[in-house]
A = this chain, B = another copy of it.
Amino acid sequence: MRVSELVEASGVPLATIKYYIREGLLRPGASTGARQATYDESHLRRLRLIRALREVAGLPVKAIARIIAIAEDSDGDLYGSLGKALSELPPHEVAGGPREHPRAGAALAQLGQSYDPTYVAVAQLETALAAAESVGMPLTDDRLLAYGRHTMAIAQAEFADMPEHRDAAIEYAVLGTVLYEPALAAFRRLAHHHLALERLRGS
């Protein structure tokens, strides 16, 4: 398609598309003449990814560029690259967070889950568990087991749909994390709401 059609299909203005090409976020179109180039589905998909990361996750262009570079670096192993790409996502406050993670480590050991202690989500879990503990609401064993079992079942359902091709897989994991985290938070609140309404009717 021509660049005007790419603007139309993606909803991204021409000046922004040119900016993304200059910054290396988007490959140039294939040249079809002195001042013409043609674009395809891969450009459109890439623009959707960039828009979601900017608008939904609020990521700066530099972080998006790093994610894209990871996705395109065919030397890295897929699962190692996935971890690196996901580490670019918010919350970022944990980047300078706890270096030791006794609570997260104990929880993951109890669940029998393997993990790399430098992976950003470990510090994220430690921060959350420490906050809960500090207000006198520590994670109980029963609740840990429920959380572990059901988040693993959710992750397995998501993993089953992961595309095979490398950059599509990384794009899927990044978008799935960013987009479905708020959806899952809303589903949990709505499950509480449903249970509260049921009790209200029953009492």
Contacts and interface: CB of A to CB of B under 8 A. Distances in A.
Q: Is the contact region of chain A dominated by helix, strand, or loop, or is it mixed? A: helix
A150 B155 CA distance: 11
A157 B186 contact: no
Given A125-B183, A139-B183, A193-B83, A188 B151 contact: yes
A19 interface: no
Contacts of A55: 131
Interface of A: 45, 48-49, 51-52, 55-56, 77, 79-80, 82-83, 86, 91, 104, 108, 113-116, 119, 121-122, 124-125, 127-129, 131-132, 134-137, 139-140, 142-143, 146-148, 150-159, 161, 172-173, 175-177, 179-200
A48 B111 CA distance: 29
Count of this chain's copies in the oligomeric assembly: 2
Contacts of A193: 83, 86, 115-116, 119, 121
A105 to B, nearest CB: 11
Nearest to A121: B189
Nearest to A157: B146
Contacts of A131: 52, 55-56, 179
A143 B48 CA distance: 21
B190 A125 contact: yes
B157 A114 contact: no
A127 B52 CA distance: 13
B195 A147 contact: no
A179 B151 CA distance: 16
A101 B191 CA distance: 17
A158 B185 CA distance: 14
